[in-house]
Structure 1
Amino acid sequence: MDQFEKVSQCSALHPKPAGLVLQYGTSGFRTNAKELDHIMFRMGLLAALRSMKTESTIGVMVTASHNPEEDNGVKLIDPMGEMVTPEWEEHATRLANAEQEALVMALNDIIKMEAINLSQDVTVFIGKDTRPSSKALSQAVLDGVSSLGGHGYDYGLLTTPQLHFMVCCKNTQYRYGTATEEGYYKKLSQAFIQLTKHAPNRTDDQKHLLVDGANGIGALKMREMEPFLQKELQVSLHNDGSHGKLNFLCGADYVKVQQKPPEGIALNAGERCCSFDGDADRIVYYFIDSAGQFHLLDGDKIATLISTYLKQLLTQAGLDLQVAVVQTAYGNGSSTRYLEETMKVTVRCVKTGVKHLHRAAQEFDIGVYFEANGHGTVLFSKGAEERIQQLTVDPNTNDEKKSAAVLLENTINLINQTVGDAISDMLLIEAVLAIQGLTVQQWDAIYTDLPNRQLKVKVADRCVIDTTDAERRAVSPTGLQDAIDMLVKKYQKSRAFVRPSGTEDVVRVYAEADTQESADALAHEVSIAVYKLAGGVGEEPKQFH
């Protein structure tokens, strides 16, 4: 039986519903789990082709991150642990949407286009989150890999960042670390313990952290990691999956959008707390002050804390390396102003979507990127890593410089540079707070966020909106940007922008201003302008209350 006959036979066991069209987006495919069996089989096929093309191990993660429990999804991981390239996103969409009888032809097209040698060995690592549907769907991925004669390794329950880490370890001949869960726990915990040695007199209070595990995989993995941390961090774990639904009334997305603590956590005034999302690649921090007021420390606050810390260490080490922070248009104006004017850090704004941030961060010696939702990491160029390492071994380096260089080296080991990682980011934040002797209140007070509001407007066709300048200005429909400019002039410290959703016919509206009342009013007025000029459907947007 030739290879394609086997693909046809196996494919018949994972049939595509006729006419169903899905798009590979920033986070791969994501929809109700019932519609994904054929997609998973085909992503197994695509991962096998990608492995042949790159002559390396490829990862496939079965997860829908912060979505509700009944959804699921899949994303491919490239050889260095990064997201798959845009060209292969297109292959994924084409393969996913080929009708059943045209699947082999679509597969052949990709093989020809990419000049793939089918006799090449195939290795694919597969991980999954805790959703009830993940087990059957990851089996469909394995079926796809084996129908092309490949070796699929099912690592079972993993956080998304753990799979990214393991793929990178495998393809760097373990220079990045050991490609096992234990390898991940050991690398991160050892770096964390080394760093916190530089924070003398940490009290038990400072070592204590409340963690909301979103009833997901991050909670399970946090439990596994605890012994490796040797009580240098004492985690009180809530929403740990023992009861309660994944992402329901908890998790990073809930906390960020609702601006309040998750269910299942009783917070005392001033206590540090953080929330993961469902697959543990996002994190946000928060606390309640003595007046009962909720304070959120999102991706902007995290990027500011980390970039300030790195800049201070580089100065101490006498290293002239450029630190840049990459943001999207959603980055709070106060954070941008503080970074540029006070910290003298380069800020680059790019289109929404973590792949755009990751790519831009690679252009600098040290690129710090965090979306406001808490998804992000830090990237060090090879040259930057080499210069830091040289300082630690050079006998002529003085003590102050050497000490800073050693801190930088341990910091690099603590960061998962392949992708945003809630556990790694949490340990980094905890280490920085400890080393700098900062409380969560002092961290929050570095700058004050401008009040903001996000709304969405239903439209007949989201494609009527076209943007430029990293999505900060609308090019079409005609007159919309002029209307936004006029509205922004009415308020202090204000800005607003609109962008089409990547997945549904809605336009997302963002506004910020000097007061919450003004931000709400501006967001509402911009929504009305979108409704009138961009083909709004249904009722006119109501004033936000």
Structure 2
Amino acid sequence: MSLNENAVRTASQAHPRPADITYTYGTAGFRAESAPPPLAQQVLDSVMFRVGLLAALRSKKLGGKTIGVMVTASHNPEKDNGVKLVDPMGEMLHSSWEAYATLLANALSDDALIARLKEVVQTAEIDLSKPAKVVYGYDTRPSCRTLVRAVVDGLSAFDVEQVNAGLVTTPQLHYLTRCLNTEGTPDAYGEPTIEGYYKKLANAYTTLAKGRHLLPALTVDCANGVGAPKLKEFVKVIGQDILPVIPVRDHINLAGQLNLNCGADYVKTQQRAPKNVDLVPWQRYCSFDGDADRIVFYYADGEGTFHLLDGDKIAGLAAGFIMDLVKDAGLGVKVGVVQTAYANGASTKYLTEVLGVPVTCVPTGVKHLHHAAESYDIGAYFEANGHGTVLFSPSTLTAIRTHTPSTPSQAAALDNLRALVELINQTVGDALSDMLLVETVLLHRQWTPAQWDAAYSDFPNRLVKVLVQDRHAFTTTDAERKVEKPEGLQAKIDEAVKDVVGGRSFVRPSGTEDCVRVYAEAATRETADELANKVAYIVFDSYGKGQRPVNGFF
């Protein structure tokens, strides 16, 4: 079967490609900053159409397995739009196909697009006679519906079986993709509906909460994003009597409010509560990001001082709890944690020296973390920004399912482990699932947020970004902890760090913006700020663009 050139060409003519833009498929898929329609359409319309074509080809390559397409999830402001593809088991698009995505997006004409499609078909050895199936969903951005129509036009050019998931969180789209591909098999992940997603999590959490003393209500900042309606739908399923929550920042129909002065990224980077959210001392708070795949927790002490419980804190909490369950169940499986260079040094020290958990450091990006976590029997990965999950290897799942307990305490631990497997969204980081994971541990420990926080104290740190002429001029090594190019830059960073007590700093290029990110740690807040600023100036003075910051602060 050959490519239907007429169908593709006709459909493509309705989605002309801008001539002055170069697109790159990165960790977050295709992203572009744009205004609401019609400008968003002008920037990304052709990309969306071509993603539809690529999703069809990916499905055909895999013999008709369902591929996911998510429009236009992000923790960034509303004007940031984009799309990403999801592979059959709910994982990120295989890295080898990122090049095909970029190739198709940058074809400058309809004829060039046809030629690139033929190139992909030939190179990837795709049998076009195979069926194709794609599930797609979208978030609350005003541009979504227009962009989705372009994706659908791409799918229709290949006569794809389409499943419209509608308004969903990014993790829900990942969940649906895996469920559709495992339905009716021994590895069935769950019912392939949003209702099935809610029931799976609700049943698991209800099991884990049984007989436990209820904690005070959790206040949830929904970032004015898709997490707001989805959290409310979930609470209707599980009930406030099992999970008392108070949603705030839940306005999805107010233009420009998505992630504005709220959400996980704001709380993490600003080290403060969302605007107009007054913290009651010692109570629990958490923030989703706009597409609900990140979460951070926080609280205020008796003096009103803000305390952040980020992805590092979540990793430590989860790893310690799971290790206890594994030990109590009598299972001989290995638990490990995967971090990036952004992980606070105190968290790494706590994991390795206090909990005795092996830690692997990998470059930033979910695909690196997810892959490394798969090397453990039970692998937890959480980026400091609050994106993460826990993976259970197939052999570990079998052991948990089939192990025969010899005591009542072993039986109880096994029941909890089995419920935990159902509670955790193993396809991708999921704010709702991770919220339930944290609540489970606090419920079992009967801990306040302050007791959780007391496990270790973060080293003071600072993260800033520096606009540069060319981010591609920066390359790193040692899991992004050392700069390889430009030559000589690492030596200057080392010089800046050497006399700082507890000092650590690294720079890495952004995957989406023309900037590099500078991270610094030190023994005190003042020295951490000074070190971050010193390294930022080292970068800016040789490679920066724009106006040099005054008053010594980036």
The answer, yes or no, to whether TM exceeds 0.5 is yes
Which of 255, 263, 266 in structure 1 is aligned with 2:267?
255
Runs (5+) with no aligned partner, structure 2:
35-39
Could you tell me which residue of structure 2 aligns to residue 69 of structure 1? Answer: 78
The answer as to whether partners of 1:527 and 1:541 remain within 8 angstroms in 2 is no
Q: CA deviation at 1:207?
A: 4.3
Q: Which amino acid aligns with 1:511?
A: A
Could you tell me which residue of structure 1 aligns to residue 539 of structure 2? Answer: 530
Could you tell me which residue of structure 2 aligns to residue 277 of structure 1? Answer: 289
Distance 1:213 1:158 in 2: 14
Could you tell me which residue of structure 2 aligns to residue 40 of structure 1? Answer: 48
Could you tell me which residue of structure 1 aligns to residue 108 of structure 2? Answer: 99
Could you tell me which residue of structure 2 aligns to residue 448 of structure 1? Answer: 457
Residues 478-512 of structure 1: per-residue CA shift (max 9 Å, x gap): 32222222221211111111111222332211100
Residues 264-286 of structure 1: per-residue CA shift (max 9 Å, x gap): 42321111111111111000111
The answer as to whether partners of 2:469 and 2:544 remain within 8 angstroms in 1 is yes
- Give 3-state SS (helix, strand or coil) of 2:438's partner: helix
CA RMSD between the two structures? 1.5
- Give 3-state SS (helix, strand or coil) of 1:367's partner: strand
Could you tell me which residue of structure 1 aligns to residue 306 of structure 2? Answer: 294
Q: Which amino acid aligns with 1:11?
A: S
Could you tell me which residue of structure 2 aligns to residue 460 of structure 1? Answer: 469
Find out whether 1:191 has 2:204 as its counterpart: yes
Could you tell me which residue of structure 1 aligns to residue 330 of structure 2? Answer: 318
The answer as to whether partners of 1:531 and 1:541 remain within 8 angstroms in 2 is no
Find out whether 1:341 has 2:353 as its counterpart: yes
Q: CA deviation at 1:24?
A: 0.6
The answer as to whether partners of 1:457 and 1:541 remain within 8 angstroms in 2 is no
1:140-289 matched pairs, under 5 angstroms = 140-174=150-184, 175-199=188-212, 201-202=213-214, 206-230=215-239, 231-241=241-251, 244=254, 245-289=257-301
Distance 1:226 1:535 in 2: 50
Distance 2:131 2:82 in 1: 26
The answer as to whether partners of 1:496 and 1:512 remain within 8 angstroms in 2 is yes
Find out whether 1:52 has 2:53 as its counterpart: no
- Give 3-state SS (helix, strand or coil) of 2:197's partner: helix
Find out whether 1:359 has 2:371 as its counterpart: yes
Distance 1:243 1:4 in 2: 41
User: Under a length normalisation based on structure 2, what TM-score does the superposition of the two structures give?
Assistant: 0.94
Distance 1:317 1:95 in 2: 51
Distance 2:514 2:53 in 1: 31
User: Under a length normalisation based on structure 1, what TM-score does the superposition of the two structures give?
Assistant: 0.96
Residues 238-267 of structure 1: per-residue CA shift (max 9 Å, x gap): 111256411111111111111111124232
Distance 1:539 1:135 in 2: 38
Q: Which amino acid aligns with 1:399?
A: P
Mean alpha-carbon deviation: is it higher for 240-249 or for 446-455?
240-249
Q: CA deviation at 1:459?
A: 2.4
1:417-428 matched pairs, under 5 angstroms = 417-428=426-437
Could you tell me which residue of structure 2 aligns to residue 22 of structure 1? Answer: 23
Could you tell me which residue of structure 2 aligns to residue 377 of structure 1? Answer: 389
The answer as to whether partners of 1:207 and 1:233 remain within 8 angstroms in 2 is no
Distance 1:118 1:99 in 2: 24
The answer as to whether partners of 1:198 and 1:435 remain within 8 angstroms in 2 is no
The answer as to whether partners of 2:73 and 2:138 remain within 8 angstroms in 1 is no
Question: Using a 3 Å threshold, how does the CA distance of structure 1 residues 52 and 192 change in structure 2: closer, same or farther?
Answer: same
Runs (5+) with no aligned partner, structure 1:
none
The answer as to whether partners of 1:207 and 1:232 remain within 8 angstroms in 2 is no
The answer as to whether partners of 1:322 and 1:365 remain within 8 angstroms in 2 is yes
The answer as to whether partners of 2:335 and 2:376 remain within 8 angstroms in 1 is yes
Residues 304-325 of structure 1: per-residue CA shift (max 9 Å, x gap): 1000100111111122211111
The answer as to whether partners of 2:183 and 2:192 remain within 8 angstroms in 1 is no
Q: Which amino acid aligns with 1:324?
A: G
Distance 1:156 1:504 in 2: 29
Q: Which amino acid aligns with 2:77?
A: P
Distance 1:29 1:385 in 2: 35
Could you tell me which residue of structure 1 aligns to residue 37 of structure 2? Answer: none
Mean alpha-carbon deviation: is it higher for 74-83 or for 34-43?
34-43
- Give 3-state SS (helix, strand or coil) of 1:177's partner: coil
